[in-house]
Amino acid sequence: MKQKKNIEGVLCKQFNQVKEDYQIHLTGIIDCIRYLLAQGLAFRGNDESISSRNKGNFLELMNFLVNHNEDIYKVWKKIRGNLKLTSPDIQKDIVKVTATVTTQVILDDLGDDLFSILIDESRDISVKEQMIVVICYVNNEGKVIECFLGVVHVSSTSALTLKSGLESLFAKYGLSLSRICGKGYDEANILRESQATKVKQALEHGEISSGRGLNQEITIKKAGETRRSLHYGTLLSIVSLFSSMIDVLEMVEEDGTYLDKKKVKH
């Protein structure tokens, strides 16, 4: 009976030690990931092999921490290769958890207050369209806070598609479009979309001809300081895009009127 208690005591002690070592190890891993995320640095290296002189930011930072922290050094030497928590999959899992916790902190700070949004579109490395959403609000200390909320992959950058993507992102975080008191977006993209629609309709009705080099995308050229040809090009662009520009300006005016009424209600 006494021997059994001694065995249980030894096993319990070993278990507690393993648990403590794991916590020290995991804390070191998380600290490295938090640092890289805060600095916006890449994790992976081109060559992460044992013989590599530069294994990438994550592994190099972890090695630095091991060599400068005695507790982590002792734990690191005990751990087998497959239990070091340094695989890319584990890094991604911790990053996802970090993003979730960070977003929840932002939402808690926002509370039930109104906020504005900033939206922009870009393409990722795989040339897929994506929408970046930033929220802006005033916290309890009266400071203006701008925080990244999320990225939504979209099929196109049309206004309807972006609106649908925004609604899906808001539904994910329990936000409502009715709480938006201001927004910023890329009017140039809306201008292109409006002009493309008008060109398509004109082609269908036979109002303009199609052919190689015709009906190419038009943008408003920047006027130069000395070259008159640039001024002329700017005027031609304005003439061609005038109706689309009016549509965009009316849209901006409607948004401003709606937001003014909304502020009065609150």
Residue 103 lies in a domain: no
Based on the domain organization, do 192 and 172 belong to the same domain?
no
> Cβ of 116: how many Cβ atoms within 10 Å?
18
- What pTM was computed for the model? 0.62
What letter does residue 25 receive in the DSSP assignment?
Answer: H
Burial class (CB in 10 A: 0-12, 13-18, 19+), 15: exposed
| Residue whose structure tokens are 């992959």 | 153
Domain boundary among 185, 204, 222: 185
Residue finishing a domain among 122, 151, 185: 185
Based on the domain organization, do 173 and 225 belong to the same domain? Answer: no
CA gap 181, 112 in Å, rounded: 13
160 inside domain: yes
- Is 92 found in the same domain as 14? yes
Q: What single-letter amino acid sits at 193? A: E
Same domain, yes or no: 120 and 170? yes
pLDDT in tens, 183-239: 665 555 555 665 566 656 665 665 544 544 444 444 444 444 445 555 656 666 666
Q: CB neighbours (10 Å) of residue 65?
A: 17
Q: Note down the domain range covering 39.
A: 2-98
Is 106 within the bounds of a domain? no
What would the 3-class secondary structure string for 59-126 be? HHHHHHHHHHCHHHHHHHHHCCHHHCCCCHHHHHHHHHHHHHHHHHHHHHHHCCCCEEEEEEEEECCC
Pair 197, 231 in one domain: yes
**HSE toward the beta carbon, residue 253, CA cutoff 13 A:** 6
HEC profile for 46-61? Answer: CCCCCCCCCCCHHHHH
Spell out the residues 6+ positions from residue 100 whose beta carbon is closer than 8 angstroms to its own. Answer: none
Do 86 and 70 lie in one domain? The reply is yes
- Is 10 contained in some domain? yes
Domain end marker among 148, 164, 185 = 185
CATH number for the domain spanning 117: value is: 3.30.420
Split into its structural domains, the chain has a count of 3
The string of pLDDT tens digits covering residues 53-107 is 999 999 999 999 999 999 999 888 887 666 778 889 999 999 999 999 999 999 9
* pLDDT at position 215: 41
Q: Same domain for 138 and 219?
A: no
Same domain assignment for residues 93 and 11:
yes
Within-domain flag for 236: yes
Examine the domain organization and report whether 236 and 210 are in the same domain.
yes
- What is the arithmetic mean of pLDDT over 17-46? 91
